Structure 1
Amino acid sequence: MLPCYACFYDKEQSDFSSINPYPRINSVFSWKNPTKLPPDKDEENPTHIGLLEKYNIPYIIDIHAHFFPELIMKLIWRWFDKVNWQISYRESEHKRVQSLLHNKVYRYTTLNYAHKSDMADRLNTYIYENYKNWKGSIPFGTFYPEPGVLEYTQKAVERFKFRGFKLHCEVSKLNLNTTELSETFYYLQEEQIPIIIHTGTAPLPGEFTGITYFRPFIEKFPKLNVIIAHMGAFEIDKYTELLTLFPNVKLDTTMVFVDFQATGSDISEHIKKLELHSDRIFFGSDFPNIPYIIGHPIMEILSLPISAEAKRKILYKNALELFNFTD
């Protein structure tokens, strides 16, 4: 969700395979019910499968799943270990994909992000060379303010056929209003390519996070197809207000309606937003970097007091339409 993985690379400790020895309850982030944590190992027969059938949801589309080169992913896990944030899917890339399919998450994005120059294009190449090995993956790339950013972003769209991009304002220390990215944003706005942006202040604020930076950005690019990660937590109300002003702004539910309170402790007041804006909200998980099974956020959405149609839209239909999938 947030680590600057390069900051935690230790050449003298190159064994990244060890499991965090601390129990989940010791995380610096609190749990809704510390005496009853959600499972952290996949069920043989996931509980949510029956509810998907009940609500006529053929499968889940996860708008917020992460894929990095293996070394970088292990460095990210090293950061999470330092804050006792357990990784439930600390396993090989192949097994992670199998876990998604086992939970009927048949389509999912390949999000990553760069924290320095000369990194984004290489991450994009990694996704391009590997995504076809990940059954159901929706190829997403990233970009960074640097020379050549427009050219390699165009390459990702026109040659690699990427379906979207991810930016992380906290990790990348990225000011969306930098003029170095203006041409790239104008290009993506014209092409109507989705961008998932972690712009909110949860779980920790960054130098350029928050509505103060995002509002002038979206006013400059009012037709940009933006999905605000984590519903903009901790400023969910302020980001939700933008939905009535900018027709292409959307939200994802990543880590909001779960028992792990990294995005806030009182989310009950936001449930009504899922119904009111059900056409503009997408299910996201943050897989694999979550301290519970992926079935937990799915079950939470399915159990909320919102209409069956809202559940279908959030978990499946909205993403189906966004990417023009026909199945």
Structure 2
Amino acid sequence: MLPCCHHILSSNERSSHPSSFPWKHPDNLPPLRDEEFPSHIPLLEKYGLPFIIDIHSHFFPEYVMKRIWKWFDGVNWEIAYRENEVQRMESLSKNRIRYFTTLNYAHKERMAEGLNRWVFETHKNTEGAILFGTFFPEEACLDYTKRAVDEYGFRGFKLHCEVGRLDLTRSDLSSTFAYLEKRKIPLVIHSGDAPLPGPYTNIRYFKTFIERYPELKVIVAHMGASEVWEYAELLEMYPELRLDTTMVFVDFLATGMEQDPYLKIIERYPDRVHFGSDFPNIPYALSHPICNLLNSPLSDEVKRNVMLHNSARLFGISL
């Protein structure tokens, strides 16, 4: 059994052990915990944003989440929101993230169906939760994916190619992808090779995959880092392909070093990029990525699209 909340740090405290990943400004780190009045709230009011939709937030059963945190501890990756789930929900509300996805993923067989059941039973009545599930290449994959859509009302699914050592081109996933393509159900896919590469994270696997399912609604996590430009080129060819900003425009350089040039991609495809945070497994407060995007040179309209309107349209959320 892993200890619960065994080293929560205050906003002024940091681990004395350096992270395996670099910081942009190592002598001036962003706050680790929320301020009493989060610094991005005035910016939301400035740009007419009543709230934010986070397309990349994680929800696991507590025992699974603690194992994930244990891995992060091994690379000295601090967890800003190392709290119980009720407290984490309060943090989202405090930061005016009114809608959020329940992303999780499986790394072995006979795990995904249980995760989907947990999401449904735990969050079917959670205000603001956009129910997401997952699946894994196994015999019952299509059956429990259909159940998640038809019975549970799931709005999307998450796949993690590095953690699950998942080859998107596997033939035993083809019927599930074809079903989701036909039903127009979105997928958030971590297929890039950052922060760590996997055997199937190179974009060549993703290209083969998207060629087979050109109308599948896919949101590429982390803008495909660290192959951002390669994924951006695909946006021109696949109108249902999208990117999320998760851990890209931040001072923690786990997903790449050069960030400012990526703003050009957002300006070029203002309707195809969504705000994501990676909550709760981030080594800074939620205000950090939000402020960085809202203080960027992006136009006011594009900022509203990224933080709110694009995801609202994708999920049919009324504004």
TM-score by length of 1: 0.94
Separation in 2 of the partners of 1:198 and 1:298? 21
Worse-superposed segment, 219-228 or 21-30: 21-30
Note if contact 2:5-2:83 (Cα within 8 Å) is conserved in structure 1: no
Match of 1:126 in 2: 118
Unaligned runs of 5+ in 2: none
The CA RMSD measured in Å over matched residues stands at 1.3
Question: How far apart, CA to CA, are the structure 1 residues paired with 2:125 and 2:180?
Answer: 27
Q: Does 1:251 align with 2:239?
A: no
Match of 1:44 among 36, 44, 52: 36
What code does the residue aligned with 1:35 have? D
Q: 1:226 aligns with which of 195, 212, 218?
A: 218
Q: Secondary structure at the match of 1:108?
A: strand
Contact 1:200–1:211 (Cα < 8 Å) also in 2: yes
Further displaced range: 124-133 or 210-219: 124-133
Stretches of 4+ moved more than 2 A in 1? 13-17, 132-135
2:106–2:136 Cα contact (<8 Å) kept:
yes
**Which has the higher mean CA deviation after the structures are superposed, 50-59 or 129-138?**
129-138
**Aligned residue number for residue 95 of structure 2:** 103
The answer as to whether partners of 1:275 and 1:306 remain within 8 angstroms in 2 is yes
| Correspondence for 2:253 | 261
Q: Secondary structure at the match of 1:118?
A: coil
Instruction: Report the Cα distance in structure 1 between the residues aligned to 2:16 and 2:162, rounded to whole angstroms.
Output: 24
8 A contact 2:218–2:242 mirrored in 1: yes
| 1:238-293, Cα deviation, whole Å (9 max, x unpaired) | 00001000010000000000000000111121111111111000000000000000
SS of the aligned residue for 1:81 comes to helix
Contact 1:20 1:86 in 2 (8 A): no
**Is residue 205 of structure 2 the alignment partner of residue 213 of structure 1?**
yes
User: Any gaps of 5 or more consecutive residues in structure 1?
Assistant: 1-12
How many residues end up aligned between the 2 structures?
Answer: 315
Distance 2:231 2:261 in 1: 14
Alignment of structure 1 residues 255-294 onto 2, 5 Å:
255-294=247-286
Matched, 1:34 2:26: yes
- In 2, Cα distance between the equivalents of 1:200 and 1:93? 28
Provide the secondary structure at the position in 2 that maps to 1:251: strand
Q: Distance in 2 between matches of 1:296 and 1:64?
A: 15
> TM-score, structure 2 length as denominator?
0.96
- Distance in 2 (alpha carbons) for counterparts of 1:124 and 1:106: 22
1:65 pairs with 49, 57, 75, which one?
57
Tell me, in whole angstroms, the C-alpha distance in 1 between the residues paired with 2:152 and 2:2: 33
Query: Quick one: distance in 1 between partners of 2:199 and 2:32?
Result: 33
